[in-house]
């Protein structure tokens, strides 16, 4: 399955690949053949990058899931930061059930998304009002293609693991953790959106 709003990218590279293939057959020019192979590679890359695999998320009122695929690069205070490399799935998911309280888009710079100062980059902050309090999901664009796509609107009711948007080509997602939850992940962990638990309710942990 391809990510929402990615069809135009796929169609564009497929058409260009077809054009160069036709031109290469008609002319036999080596340069055009090289361009065909380049765009064939781009076609495969774009289809692979915009993949959107099925995920099974358990309905959980006492825990939070990762909002992104990637590597945990920072756990400080009540915040977990996940860096998505170019090979990761870039569709982001709701870390917790709740209602979309606000969506704020901010323009910014061009720093690589793994830098701490990348908070100055273009970003979208989605606030989810949950039973544990407000949770901020901050999608931070990277240095390549600064384009954040949101799939939700203010007032939407979300279930944990539901798709909320994506960031194109290298990026980072920061999630704030409510005070009544304990963070269960650490720096260096590999996490998957909608599948990896990153925090659990303190009371639930005691009962367990």
Q: What is the pLDDT of residues 96-137, one digit of tens each?
A: 999 999 999 888 666 555 555 456 678 899 999 999 999 999
Give bridge partners of residue 137 from the DSSP assignment.
126, 175
Q: What percent of the chain has pLDDT over 90?
A: 55
Q: How confident is the model at residue 56 (pLDDT cuts 50, 70, 90)?
A: confident
Beta strands in the chain (DSSP E): 63-65, 70-76, 79-84, 91-93, 98-106, 123-130, 133-141, 148-150, 157-158, 163-167, 171-176, 181-183, 190-191, 197-201
Please provide residue 118's backbone torsions phi and psi, each rounded to the nearest 5 degrees: -70, -5
Assigned token pair, 178? 């409510």
Q: Give me the pLDDT at residue 206, please.
A: 40
Q: Give me the pLDDT at residue 4, please.
A: 77
Looking at residue 102, the DSSP 8-state letter turns out to be E
pLDDT in tens, 151-180: 999 999 999 999 999 887 768 899 999 999
Which of helix, strand or coil describes residue 149? strand
- Which distant-in-sequence residues (6+ apart) come within 8 Å of 108 by Cβ? 120, 121, 122, 123, 141
Q: Give me the pLDDT at residue 173, please.
A: 93
Cβ pair 106, 123 in contact under 8 A: yes
Assigned token pair, 80? 């977990």
Nearest to 170 by CA among 104, 49, 85: 85
Distance CA 86, CA 106 (A): 23
Which residue numbers are catalytic?
171
Length of the chain in terms of residues written: 208
Does residue 67 or residue 54 have the better pLDDT? 67
Distance CA 23, CA 62 (A): 59
The span from the first CA to the last CA of the chain, in angstroms, equals 38
């Amino acid at each position: 399955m391809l990510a929402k709003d990615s069809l135009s990218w796929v169609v564009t590279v497929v058409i260009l690949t077809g054009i160069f293939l036709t031109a290469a057959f008609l002319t036999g020019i080596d340069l055009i053949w090289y361009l065909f192979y380049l765009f064939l590679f781009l076609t495969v890359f774009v289809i692979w990058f915009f993949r959107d695999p099925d995920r099974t998320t358990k309905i959980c009122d006492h825990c939070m899931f990762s909002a992104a695929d990637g590597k945990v690069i920072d756990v400080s205070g009540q915040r977990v930061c996940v860096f998505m490399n170019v090979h990761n799935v870039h569709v982001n998911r709701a870390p917790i059930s709740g209602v979309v309280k606000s969506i704020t888009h901010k323009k910014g710079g061009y720093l690589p998304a793994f830098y701490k100062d990348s908070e100055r980059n273009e970003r979208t902050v989605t606030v989810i009002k949950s039973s544990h309090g407000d949770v901020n999901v901050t999608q931070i664009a990277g240095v390549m293609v600064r384009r954040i796509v949101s799939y939700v609107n203010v007032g939407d009711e979300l279930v944990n693991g539901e798709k909320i948007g994506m960031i194109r080509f290298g990026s980072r997602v920061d999630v704030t953790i409510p005070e009544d939850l304990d963070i269960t992940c650490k720096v260096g962990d590999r996490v998957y959106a909608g599948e990896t638990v990153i925090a659990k309710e303190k009371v639930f942990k005691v009962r367990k």
